[in-house]
């Protein structure tokens, strides 16, 4: 089994600080969309969404990731105005009720990122790694906002899967740095389920430790994704918790510092158990 690195990253998020490497951080998913693949429509009411965010924080989430546009295959794109209508009341509400929360805005649009930061978000999670709307890098730099850069592409053709992903992530990092965002504020994500077949997703997870060459903490997002359903014989999203748990444990063992999940309470437990094994003396368990 791969043993986690002993490196620690300290990432300032507004008035808060995210420390990565001592234990696995949990990013709780909050989709305020009618059409997300797993929980679409559940949290479109702002009040319910805010309550769910507070529940996830209580259950152990370190970050709440608020998204206003589905990124599932075949999703219907929405404009910035509609995305803002969905996310801003939720971000403001979470910030009012949880002043110390780290809130991430899940968007690739510069205008949405700017408004979300002004509303209280203190992290950006861009599924296109600053390559879809290059202006978002300037927004992040202007506010010195920590950002997750995910690998994505519109097809599944690769010359060399993991090295092509690394090459693309290097480009994302260069884009961020050129705009004025220091590499110390960057987190990388291999993009499970984005521009990859089910077999490729499994291969990426198997070889994920190779991303260490980029020198940045790794976020892994596998929660309830279609690859899990396919491996487990076509299970619906509501029955993918055990499969998600397996990917979380393996992901942590292969180098993930953050896991992005729907089921915070249960995946927090999985992370704690895995940390006790792969981060000896650092995962929080000190003995009897």
Distance separating the N- and C-terminal Cα atoms of the chain: 24
> For this structure, is 230 an active site residue?
no
Which of 62, 104, 110, 63 minimizes the C-alpha distance to 87? 104
Rounded distance between C-alpha atoms, residue 137 and residue 178, angstroms: 9
Give me the catalytic one of 138, 240, 260, 268.
Answer: 260
Give me the catalytic one of 23, 92, 109, 225.
Answer: 225
> For this structure, is 282 an active site residue?
no
Please report which residue ranges of the chain form alpha helices under DSSP H.
46-59, 80-97, 110-119, 135-143, 161-179, 198-206, 226-231, 241-253, 264-278
Query: Phi and psi at residue 236, in whole multiples of 5°?
Result: -70, 165
- Bridge partner list, 30: 66
Q: Which two tokens stand for residue 174?
A: 């260069």
Residue numbers annotated as active site: 225, 260
């Amino acid at each position: 089994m791969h043993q986690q690195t002993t490196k620690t990253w300290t990432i300032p998020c507004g008035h808060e600080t995210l420390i990565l490497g001592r234990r696995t951080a949990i990013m709780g998913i909050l989709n305020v969309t009618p059409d997300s693949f797993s929980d679409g429509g559940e949290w479109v009411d702002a009040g319910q969404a805010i309550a769910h965010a507070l529940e996830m924080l209580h259950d152990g989430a370190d970050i709440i990731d608020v998204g206003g546009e589905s990124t599932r295959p075949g999703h219907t794109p929405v404009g910035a105005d509609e995305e803002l209508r969905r996310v801003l009341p939720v971000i403001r509400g979470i910030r009012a009720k949880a002043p110390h929360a780290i809130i991430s805005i899940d968007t690739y649009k510069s205008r949405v990122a700017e408004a979300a930061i002004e509303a209280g978000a203190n992290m950006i999670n861009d599924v296109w790694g600053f390559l879809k709307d290059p202006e978002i890098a300037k927004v992040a730099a202007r506010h010195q906002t920590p950002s997750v850069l995910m690998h994505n592409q519109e097809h599944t053709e690769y010359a060399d899967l993991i090295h092509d992903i690394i090459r693309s992530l290097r480009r994302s990092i260069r884009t961020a740095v050129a705009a004025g965002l220091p590499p110390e504020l960057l987190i990388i994500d291999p993009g499970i389920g984005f521009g990859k077949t089910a077999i490729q997703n499994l291969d990426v997870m198997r070889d994920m430790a190779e991303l260490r060459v980029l020198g940045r903490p790794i976020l892994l997002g596998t929660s309830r994704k279609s690859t899990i359903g396919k491996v487990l014989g076509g299970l619906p999203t509501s029955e993918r918790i055990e499969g998600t748990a397996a990917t979380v444990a393996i992901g942590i063992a292969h180098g993930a510092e953050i896991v992005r999940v729907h089921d915070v309470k249960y995946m927090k437990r999985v992370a704690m158990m895995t940390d006790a094994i792969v981060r000896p003396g650092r995962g929080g368990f000190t003995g009897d």
